[in-house]
Chains A and B, each alone.
Chain A
């Protein structure tokens, strides 16, 4: 596994732990379909939340959130619809969030959670 994929995996695990700690229930991780992958799906009260996680080891080449482009967000929206199709049930309120994880090799991990980014 390449170093960047490993960092991504680590970041997603950190994000999932963070979301669970802030009172959300993790529904699914790394859900795949033909169009791509959703990092994390959680339930926050009566809202279904699709979370995009971005991880960097430092901010030397920009903040992780800056890497989330409008194209990526549009894809996440399509993926959310695909997830809802694949999981029958009442999905009245859905939300798309972004989580930035800055995880340096040594030192404290920094997590930023942005709600309703799309």
Chain B
């Protein structure tokens, strides 16, 4: 008997390994053995595959079928191997063409009636298959749109095992079935909020513009009703559209998390705003067996908004320090490490104290100094250290509201154009360096020979450094912000005024 051989993909984090599925039929009493470190869901594939093959009318061998998933030492999870196992077994029995199935990567879960059920994580799996040199992939009809997002891949969507067998040269008459689709497979809402809705608070609008242009993390501090959440949720609209490569990564992470991916690649950066009761597994990712990405990973290439940041448990907030530093989220388990991209832009919003009124001009704070200190103390120093923009937001007064009604305000479209222009200027300056945004540039380079600012320009922060008003790290941060402000104004070198404004964007916590 020939050996049936085909391929599937095992996912660990966003990276997939192509798994070879071999099936052998030996002359022995009927049985089905599945080897190669399957987990429980995968081990149950034996019963699904057998029932599906018989109910499809393809028949299943009355001998001992041994299916091996190699590399044997790699743990494999989930039900996505069903289709590959069924076709390998049928090829070993001579029902389908072994040469035909060997060239194709098969993904899909089988129902007992032989219909194919959509699975999560198809997009990253197809990307991995494409990277491994495969050009054809067979997926359930419900996943075909998602798989087709990968450029250069030939996608065959099949509704049932019988359709797959017929495609691979099985001599059967097709039986039309209702394909199983993913529940709630609608388009993802892409409406963006307009920056023009924000009235007053021009400083904060500018801070958002700077955050978008330079990729800086931001921290907004202010009393309830000052518009912190309103501002932060408008940041994704200011960011430039996703590149096709980033869009595939964003969709892959959604697919891994089991969320709908839609029929087209997203063009807008994602926004994730987890509630403050989130655990570190929800924020960073986790799970035994299949490791799923958390909110921070899903916010990659977009914005992670932590509203009411001090209400988050300290340990959860501190779990963000590693991704903020390295841009990669690593989740370690006893037998594996999953890596997810962690290139999100962090925006935190907080009240200045538990009652929220401290620093407000129109009301009185009732917190004791100790309570105030404890409240913001929950955001650790090392975390704040990584956040470039720290701005105090004030409640709008009636006078400002009247004034705002008469002047024209910056709309999201205008702001996004300015951000795009600023990024283009930065890209020219940073050409030939490993960095693409101002926020990623280290201080040593900014203070280095190539682009050092004149002493007259930096005199204000030089003095602050001398007095101990800012630290060396704070000094670098101000420099970075100054460059972004200059980029936004379309000038090649920051002036003393840019440095002054940069210093202002940092002073929330000191006042």
Point out residues on A near B: beta carbons under 8 Å. 63, 65-66, 68, 73, 98, 112, 114-117
Contacts and interface: CB of A to CB of B under 8 A. Distances in A.
A98 B29 contact: yes
B452 interface: no
Contacts of A112: 62
B30 to A, nearest CB: 5
Q: Interface residue tally of chain B, by bracket? A: under 10
B27 A65 contact: no
Nearest to A72: B29
B28 interface: yes
Contacts of A117: 28-29
A68 B29 contact: yes
A115 B30 contact: no
A115 B62 CA distance: 14
A63 B30 contact: yes
Interface in B215-242: none
Q: Which of A63, A114, A115, A117 has the most CB of B within 10 A?
A: A114
B26 to A, nearest CB: 10
A117 B27 CA distance: 8
Most buried by A among B28, B29, B30, B63: B29
A44 to B, nearest CB: 16
Contacts of A73: 29
B62 A66 contact: yes
Interface of B: 27-30, 62-63
A98 B62 CA distance: 13
Given A66-B62, A68-B29, A115-B27, 11 more contacts: A63-B30, A63-B62, A65-B62, A66-B30, A73-B29, A98-B29, A112-B62, A114-B27, A114-B29, A114-B63, A117-B29
User: Chain B's interface: helix, strand, loop or mixed, by majority?
Assistant: loop
A62 B29 CA distance: 13
B59 to A, nearest CB: 10
A117 B62 CA distance: 13
A112 B63 CA distance: 11
A37 to B, nearest CB: 19
Contacts of B27: 114-115
- Chain A, interface SS category: mixed
A113 to B, nearest CB: 10
B89 to A, nearest CB: 15
A115 B30 CA distance: 13
5 contacts: A63-B62, A98-B29, A112-B62, A114-B27, A115-B27
The 10 closest A-B pairs by CB, nearest first: A63-B62, A66-B30, A117-B29, A65-B30, A68-B29, A65-B29, A65-B62, A117-B28, A114-B27, A98-B29
Nearest to B62: A63
A57 B30 CA distance: 19
Contacts of B30: 63, 65-66
Nearest to A115: B27
A106 B132 CA distance: 55
Contacts of A114: 27-29, 63
B352 to A, nearest CB: 72
Contacts of B62: 63, 65-66, 112
B55 to A, nearest CB: 14
A112 B27 CA distance: 11
A14 B296 CA distance: 70
Contacts of B29: 65, 68, 73, 98, 114, 117
A66 B63 CA distance: 9
Contacts of A98: 29
A74 to B, nearest CB: 13
A116 B28 CA distance: 8
A73 B64 CA distance: 15
Interface centre among A65, A68, A116 (most CB of B within 10 A): A65
A76 to B, nearest CB: 12
Contacts of B63: 114
Nearest to B28: A117
A112 B29 CA distance: 11
A66 B28 CA distance: 11
Nearest to A68: B29
Nearest to A69: B29
A117 B28 CA distance: 6
Nearest to A59: B62
A13 to B, nearest CB: 23
A73 B29 CA distance: 10
A65 B28 CA distance: 9
A79 B455 CA distance: 100
Nearest to A117: B29
B325 to A, nearest CB: 56
Nearest to B54: A62
A63 B60 CA distance: 11
B112 to A, nearest CB: 16
A116 B62 CA distance: 16
B374 to A, nearest CB: 66
B126 to A, nearest CB: 37
